[in-house]
Structure 1
């Protein structure tokens, strides 16, 4: 069973955190963190998509469906972020899945002295409905201006997806504390080795 430290929550959107459950996509054999239905149910609970204490985590078929949705979201998001139109089959699959999402009751909040719709996502009663909420989040992202801020981590051995919300829109890593610092240390060590080699000549 996967553990919390297997999952990274730096995507900025639940649909991107979900795509990041397949780690090291650049490898010939990426690392799967959703190995069984219990892993999927635990991830969905940690993401706030699935009500805690669900006794039936879902079936192998739901897990297969979740993995398929994950790859559909990934292809569609990367296509649109790159200025391309996603595959029509991916659009159909996302729409079909998002249509199964439970409909939350519309709520309002007072912001700056005026009424606005409250942001929020339903909590599903089962894994299949929670996957539909992820599809709904992906559809929302694809239609938003934020899609142009989706990035792939620039670290050589990462490739996690995230939304760049930095003011200058120049974030390079999924996390400065993880990939950013590692990259800086590696570059510093490489410069130091080159300097030593030059001094030895």
Structure 2
């Protein structure tokens, strides 16, 4: 079972959080956090895509399908963020996946004298439908102006994907508290060593 520190929610979009379930992509052998079908179901529930009472997937095919979608999303997002087109195979898989998403009928509400869309639940009742919601989010990101704000964490030992919503569009770290501070401390210590001073000097 994956631990909470393995599932990081700093992507800014559910599809990016999903790509980040494969950790340490900078390594020759990245760290897998979706090790079994139960892990996949738990991640989908924590991402608020799957109902808590949904029966967990038991087939290895469900896990393989989830991992395949994850890597397809990752390739497509990084390609478009860099100004390239995704492969035709990746486009086809995303289109097939989004076609399975259950979209609730739009509803209206009046709030403070204004007509607004009524918020509706989008929770899926099975993992396949929940994965379709991940694919749908990826397609929406690929077609939006936000795709140009997708970044890969600048820390040498991270590589998490995230959406840079900073006003200056210059966010470098997946999280300042995790990678940003650690990198700054490491660089400060390296400069201190090079100057021949200890922090107490």
TM class by smaller structure: over 0.9
Displacement of 1:106 in angstroms is: 1.1
Evaluate the alpha carbon distance shift between residue 53 and residue 196 of structure 1 in structure 2; reply closer, same or farther with a 3 A threshold: same
**Is it true that 1:4 corresponds to 2:38 in the alignment?**
no
Displacement of 1:112 in angstroms is: 8.1
Displacement of 1:114 in angstroms is: 4.0
Evaluate the alpha carbon distance shift between residue 113 and residue 176 of structure 1 in structure 2; reply closer, same or farther with a 3 A threshold: farther
Equivalent residue, structure 1, for 2:177:
177
Equivalent residue, structure 2, for 1:75:
75
* Equivalent pairs, count: 197
Evaluate the alpha carbon distance shift between residue 86 and residue 59 of structure 1 in structure 2; reply closer, same or farther with a 3 A threshold: same
- Aligned-partner SS, 2:196: helix
Evaluate the alpha carbon distance shift between residue 143 and residue 116 of structure 1 in structure 2; reply closer, same or farther with a 3 A threshold: farther
Equivalent residue, structure 1, for 2:31:
31
Evaluate the alpha carbon distance shift between residue 66 and residue 82 of structure 1 in structure 2; reply closer, same or farther with a 3 A threshold: same
| In structure 1, C-alpha distance between the alignment counterparts of 2:63 and 2:40, rounded to whole Å | 7
Aligned CA RMSD, in angstroms, stands at: 1.7
**Is it true that 1:192 corresponds to 2:181 in the alignment?**
no
For residues 26-175 of structure 1, the aligned pairs below 5 Å read 26-108=26-108, 114-117=114-117, 122-175=122-175
Query: Could you report, residue by residue, the CA deviation over 1:74-119 in whole angstroms, capped at 9, with x for unpaired residues?
Result: 0000000111111111001000000001112213455786434456
| In structure 2, C-alpha distance between the alignment counterparts of 1:184 and 1:132, rounded to whole Å | 39
Give the alignment's TM-score, normalised by structure 2: 0.92
| In structure 2, C-alpha distance between the alignment counterparts of 1:92 and 1:156, rounded to whole Å | 33
Equivalent residue, structure 2, for 1:21:
21
Query: Could you report, residue by residue, the CA deviation over 1:45-66 in whole angstroms, capped at 9, with x for unpaired residues?
Result: 0000000022333421010000
**Residue range with higher mean Cα deviation, 113-122 or 11-20:** 113-122
Give the alignment's TM-score, normalised by structure 1: 0.92
Contact 2:173 2:180 in 1 (8 A): yes
- Aligned-partner SS, 1:173: coil
Evaluate the alpha carbon distance shift between residue 68 and residue 103 of structure 1 in structure 2; reply closer, same or farther with a 3 A threshold: same
Structure 2's unaligned 5+ residue stretches are none
Displacement of 1:135 in angstroms is: 0.3
Displacement of 1:121 in angstroms is: 6.1
Evaluate the alpha carbon distance shift between residue 82 and residue 43 of structure 1 in structure 2; reply closer, same or farther with a 3 A threshold: same
Evaluate the alpha carbon distance shift between residue 48 and residue 178 of structure 1 in structure 2; reply closer, same or farther with a 3 A threshold: same
